[in-house]
Amino acid sequence: MPHTEDLAIFARVVELGSLSAAGRDLRLSPAVVSNRIARLEGDLKARLLNRTTRRVNPTEEGAAFYQHCLSILNELEQVENLLSQRTDEPRGPIKVSLPVAFGRQYVAPHIGAFLARYPQMQVRLQLTDRFSDLIQERIDLAIRIGALEDSSAIVRNLATDRRVIVAAPDYLDARGIPKAPEDLLEHNCLLLRFPGSKQYRWTLTGPDGPQTLRVAGNMDSDNSEVLLDWCLAGHGLALKSIWEIVDHLNAGRLKVVLRDHPPVADAIHALYPHGAHVPARVRAFIDFLVEILGPKPIWERALKVTI
């Protein structure tokens, strides 16, 4: 009978397309990963993977087996979650996916305090600006900002995400201050681009309702912190959440434009996979996030300028 750990390793190899990448993700050496795959193929008496110098792909049998692996691993997780309800103390590992800047600024600094409160837990943060697949990547909890497309997940609202359009004073001195939404079409707009991102369309509010503009610029990145650096350097306008730039607003390093036409606000959500039982560790982490953010988000309390 195949070992459960071997199933998890095989699934991660298929998802990442690499033995070494799966090893890094699971904190195992490539040799151990290779040996476990060989043992699994021996147990099943079937070849599961085709190996090339660049990538590992599942065979026809491997692709079919991978789907069964996901079902088995998910069922095992549900059993573990059910059993964990019998103890009041949250325990075990939790994998949390967050946007890079938000996770670094508002979550990572508090993980030590969280683990001091729940010493039987282990926290793994996945910082990425892309939308991770909760099931495929076996993520326990994801923090997402903006529109949600994963209808299969359970959602809890954490905070309002108020946004503004900003630029460095040097940029505004050189290019002028936009007075109306249409003026954005004549400016260099710094854009966040990754699969699922819609930042090239900026939706602003106004007396006649929302207005969406397709903006453009000569610089874009899949990392929000790079965009912020470019904006601070005077390279263009950026649409930014207040939580990311509150210190720069207070210090005058960034100026808000189009105050009468602010971008439509988003929300910050916690998402977790739909299931019959919510693990105690997931509930504990969500409650901790609500606690550290506060009823009025900490970045709103820190804001000292009128926007």
* Residues 254-279 pLDDT 10s: 999 999 999 998 899 999 887 656 78
For residue 184, the Cα-to-chain-centroid distance in whole angstroms is 28
Give the residue-averaged pLDDT of 150-161: 81
Query: Could you give all domains of the chain from N- to C-terminal order, each with its CATH number?
Result: 4-84 (1.10.10.10), 92-157+267-302 (3.40.190.10), 163-264 (3.40.190.290)
What stretch of H or E contains 94? strand 92-98
Q: Which residue has the higher pLDDT, 307 or 181?
A: 181
**CA pair distance 217, 210, nearest whole angstrom:** 22
As to burial, measured by CB atoms within 10 angstroms (0-12 exposed, 13-18 middle, 19+ buried), residue 258 is buried
What per-residue confidence (pLDDT) applies to 54? 75
Q: Is the pLDDT of residue 170 over 90?
A: yes
> Three-state SS for 127?
strand
- Residues 65-102 pLDDT 10s: 988 888 888 777 767 666 655 556 788 999 999 999 99
Instruction: Tell me the pLDDT of the chain averaged across its residues.
Output: 88
Write the Ramachandran bin of 38: left for phi over 0, alpha for psi from -120 to 50, otherwise beta: alpha
